Structure 1
């Protein structure tokens, strides 16, 4: 069955119901042959106490987009995808607006995948640089 881009993005949106992604208002907005993009609004909901975007929220955004990309580009119907390692360098703070995370493959293995995830703002300014490793495990 060939689905349209809109149908695939809607399926991703439905998978976020009642999850952390819904709580953080993460939305998948674009994809291509080797990437997936998600956005997250920067509001007090994702701030640390001094009023800037919390690093943990950025890491949650990055892991969400990388894991969803693994699910999309692998056999997600027959595999579980789990993040097994993540590292992030937060290079700029952000108080409001929107951030975008784009996951692209560094390594696409059958069992493990390594993702580069850049988190940028509306002006394409780098906010955080993330590397995520996922593992695909067969459903039993």
Structure 2
């Protein structure tokens, strides 16, 4: 699963997956639908409007709208930054873990550099470490002008699925 994909290039899928629409709207490639068939992309991914553009264990890119994800002051909520970072890092770790294993987040932290009040935020996760039991990704969130909004780091533990 280490190839980078382009959304919308997959073939058709049987209509047995109850999360098919959510997976398609989130930009998840069809070859990953079976892996996510028991829980979809996650309800928070759907709720926040996260859409994947690239997915591999080494690099993941996704966008998230600011609209609907603001805090009371009208800027993107800091927690939304962390949700995007954890989503990217966890998907990368899960892809790295492979069949029969899964990833669980054990640490996340972020520094917020600047605010944004409209448009799309892009998160780019880059693997720092892809080990047998731990993965770490750095996630940089930018605005539509390419300005860095926040930098996060997420570490996941790889576990055997019971």
TM-score band, normalised by the shorter chain? 0.7 to 0.9
Residue pairs, 1:33-52, within 5 angstroms? 34-43=58-67, 45-52=68-75
Deviations 1:26-69 (A, max 9, x none): 111113572011110110x2111010000001100100011011
Residue pairs, 1:23-42, within 5 angstroms? 23-31=47-55, 34-42=58-66
Residue pairs, 1:55-70, within 5 angstroms? 55-70=78-93
Query: How has the CA–CA distance of structure 1 residues 78 and 128 changed in structure 2, closer, same or farther, with 3 Å as cutoff?
Result: same
TM-score by length of 2: 0.76
Q: Which has the higher helix share?
A: 1
Corresponding residue number in structure 1 for 2:134 = 112
Larger Rg: 2
Q: How many residues align?
A: 137
Residue ranges of structure 2 left out of the alignment (5+ in a row): 11-27
Q: Which has the higher strand share?
A: 1
Q: Is the 8 A contact 1:62 1:117 kept in 2?
A: yes
Partners in 2 of 1:101 and 1:26 — Cα distance?
Answer: 10
Residue ranges of structure 1 left out of the alignment (5+ in a row): none
Flag the structure with more relative contact order, 1 or 2, with Cα contacts below 8 A and sequence separation at least 6: 1
SS in 1 for 2:29: helix
Residue 92 (structure 1) shift: 0.5
Q: Is the 8 A contact 1:40 1:99 kept in 2?
A: yes
